[in-house]
A and B are shown apart, each in its own frame.
Chain A
């Protein structure tokens, strides 16, 4: 199974900050990584697919990059509605696996 290791597990940030979340795969997954946002009591929401492709309707302050084993989610200019938990996930092989999540909290 491919392990997805996210860091940090949590972070505190202020409105307007640039936030970076990283995800490392235990083997090359080319660019088959997706990022989701989840708020308490809500379903996960797809933000980025294929490492760098912005899902329709997602604000452009979200961006993704990386290939092989190392991937990054960047939020440029944190907004109040961005405080949530973020997960990376690989769609390269079965079983599909998720990172452990990164919770973005208000500083």
Chain B
């Protein structure tokens, strides 16, 4: 069974940084585009960004609200993907999910999520 598990969430002050990690198992991690999606309180699901496979260039794309502040990296030797977040704002407060996808593909599976709270 394909599974994902996130770690690294927590409470951080505005302007601070945080790094989330996600480890996959039960599927060929290196063949999957990996995405981060967040559940924003009162707003719903919001796509954060994704990284393609190394064979497809390993490039990452980001949603406009996080571009320039967030970075997605992958380490296929460890079946992990990370989300480095800088210059955090209160509006980044959300549950962050790691999920697998592909070209024109849905998001599946999903991790259980990790809470990030940005507050002074």
Q: In the assembled complex, which residues on chain B have CB atoms less than 8 Å from the CB atom of A96?
A: 35, 47, 50, 101
Shortest Cβ distance from residue B31 to the other chain A in the assembled complex, whole angstroms: 17
The distance in angstroms between the C-alpha atoms of A100 and B112, with both chains bound, is: 20
Q: List 4 additional contacts besides A43-B112, A95-B63; criterion CB under 8 Å.
A: A87-B45, A94-B61, A96-B50, A101-B45
Stretch in A12-20, A44-52, A76-84 with 4+ CB within 8 Å of B: A44-52
Judge whether A87 and B104 touch: CB under 8 Å.
no
30 contacts between A and B (CB under 8 A): A32-B104, A34-B107, A38-B39, A42-B112, A43-B97, A43-B110, A43-B112, A43-B113, A44-B97, A44-B107, A46-B108, A49-B105, A49-B106, A50-B106, A55-B108, A85-B44, A89-B45, A89-B106, A89-B107, A92-B104, A95-B47, A95-B61, A95-B64, A96-B35, A97-B47, A98-B46, A98-B47, A99-B44, A101-B44, A101-B45
Interface residues of chain B, those whose CB is within 8 Å of chain A, are: 35, 37, 39, 43-47, 50, 61, 63-64, 97, 101, 104-108, 110-113
Q: Which residues of B contact A1 (CB under 8 A)?
A: 64
The contact of A98 among B44, B50, B64, B110, by CB within 8 Å, is B44
In Å, the complex CA distance between A34 and B110 comes to: 14
Least CB separation from B105: chain A residue: A91
* Complex CA–CA separation, A32 to B46 (angstroms): 17
> Are the CB atoms of B104 and A100 closer together than 8 Å?
no
**A44 and B45 within 8 A (CB):** yes
Give bound CA distance, A49 to B101, whole Å: 12
Residue among A32, A91, A100 making CB contact with B44, cutoff 8 Å? A100
Interface centre among B43, B44, B97, B105 (most CB of A within 10 A): B44
